Amino acid sequence: MPELPEVEVTRRQLAPMLVGRKVARVFTTRPSYFFLTPPATLRRRLTGRVVERLERLGKYLLADLDSGERLLLHLGMTGEIVREGAVDHDRHVHLRLEFDDGRPGVVFRDERKFGKVQLLAAGEDSKRVLRLGPDALSADAEHLHAATRGRRIPIKTLLLDQAVLAGVGNIYADEALFLARVRPTRRAAGLTRAETPAIAAAVRQVLRRAIEAGGSSISDFVQPEGGEGGYQHERHVYAREGEPCGRCGTAIRRTVLGQRSSHYCPSCQR
DNA sequence: CAAATCCCCTGCAGGC
DNA sequence: TGCCTGCAGGGGATTT
């Protein structure tokens, strides 16, 4: 599942294969939940445009076009944006861009269609982006501590709230809480002055390291150039139920919080 | 306002 | 082998 590290790795590899190239042809599938902007409109508005910049906000990618419009992209659960030819071109390819230079195009493939594509008019703001909190890569201890006050929800659930920190998803929330030695079930408001900075630091650390490793390819994440990430080999708790904790050997436990599976070491995390 | 629940979608694992 | 059920989850909408 693409979270901040996977989206950032996607941005870094995608930028060189997108920026500065002129879109010659746009192919789309039929209208669906996936298209916040109707595919016919996308085809019309994107044709002939040049992407000038590609930035990331939380788990969103924003491509600035030479028309002043912006293309908003979200990978959802199973989305992947790759160089044409790097993955199968099957019924799950919803958007494909061809350019005027003869080099391979770019495809946005998504099995479950939880991904999103939206064209923003010049100066138009996206409600989805506006509600995002500060980027999780620079998680601030004071900000996180303040965000926990008055919140009865588990800290794990709070970390997944994109309005609190933008970019944390299920894998890295579990991994960060392991590094901080805090149980995911702990009430946010009950965390101490010492624990919230530890969690913020762990969030930054795990995200930075995951980017360095190229992301996690646990559920099919593929980099734009076709490679796989390596962080899945470094994870401590996520999807390791019953396996021994790397620190103490205790069996990793799984529980459900906010409809999402959560993993932790009952011995190391308190 | 906060918190809980439902739903969008498809592939796959597990049970029989 | 095939059918059915449940699960995976980002995040918005709806309900409590």
A18-74, pLDDT tens digit by residue? 999 999 999 999 899 899 999 999 999 999 999 999 999 999 999 999 999 999 999
Q: Does the annotation count A184 as an active-site position?
A: no
Give the active site residue among A2, A154, A184, A197: A2
Tell me where in chain A the CATH 3.20.190.10 domain(s) lie. Answer: 4-130
Looking at CATH, the fold of the domain delimited by A4-130 is given as N-terminal domain of MutM-like DNA repair proteins (3.20.190)
Q: Which nucleotides of B are covered by protein (CB under 7 A)?
A: 2-11
Q: How confident is the model at residue A252 (pLDDT cuts 50, 70, 90)?
A: very high
Strand B contact with A157 (CB < 7 A): yes
Give the active site residue among A43, A151, A254, A260: A260
Q: Which nucleotides of C are covered by protein (CB under 7 A)?
A: 7-13
Instruction: List strand B contacts in A 42-101 (CB < 7 A).
Output: 77, 92
Q: Pick out residues whose CB falls under 7 Å from strand C.
A: A 1, 3, 58-60, 74, 76-78, 112, 114, 127-128, 131, 160, 162, 169-171, 256, 259-261
Cα separations in angstroms, A88 against A1, A93, A129: 19, 9, 31
* Distance measured from the CA of protein residue A112 to the C1' of nucleotide C4, in angstroms: 20
Mean pLDDT within A196-220: 91
Strand B contact with A256 (CB < 7 A): no
Q: How confident is the model at residue A218 (pLDDT cuts 50, 70, 90)?
A: confident
Q: Is the pLDDT of residue A146 over 90?
A: yes
Tell me where in chain A the CATH 1.10.8.50 domain(s) lie. Answer: 136-264
Mean pLDDT for all residues in chain A: 93
Q: What is the nearest nucleotide to A2, using C1' and CA? A: C10
Q: What is the DSSP string of chain A?
A: ---HHHHHHHHHHHGGGTBTPBEEEEEE-S--TTBSS-HHHHHHHHTT-BEEEEEEETTEEEEEETTS-EEEEE-TTTEEEEETTSS--STTEEEEEEETTSS--EEEEESS---EEEEEPTTPPPHHHHT--SBGGG--HHHHHHHHTT--SBHHHHHH-TTTSBT--HHHHHHHHHHHT--TTSBGGG--TTHHHHHHHHHHHHHHHHHHTT---SS----TTS---SGGGT-SSTT-TTSBPTTT-PBPEEEEETTEEEEE-TTT--
Q: What is the pTM assigned to this prediction?
A: 0.95
Q: Looking at residue A219, what is its pLDDT?
A: 65
Looking at CATH, the fold of the domain delimited by A136-264 is given as Helicase, Ruva Protein; domain 3 (1.10.8)
Q: What is the nearest nucleotide to A1, using C1' and CA? A: C9
Which is nearest to A5 in space by CA: A79, A53, A54, A56?
Answer: A56
Give the active site residue among A3, A80, A98, A195: A3
* Distance measured from the CA of protein residue A87 to the C1' of nucleotide C4, in angstroms: 31
* Distance measured from the CA of protein residue A130 to the C1' of nucleotide C15, in angstroms: 24
Rounded Cα gap, residues A91 and A97, in angstroms: 16
Q: How confident is the model at residue A258 (pLDDT cuts 50, 70, 90)?
A: confident
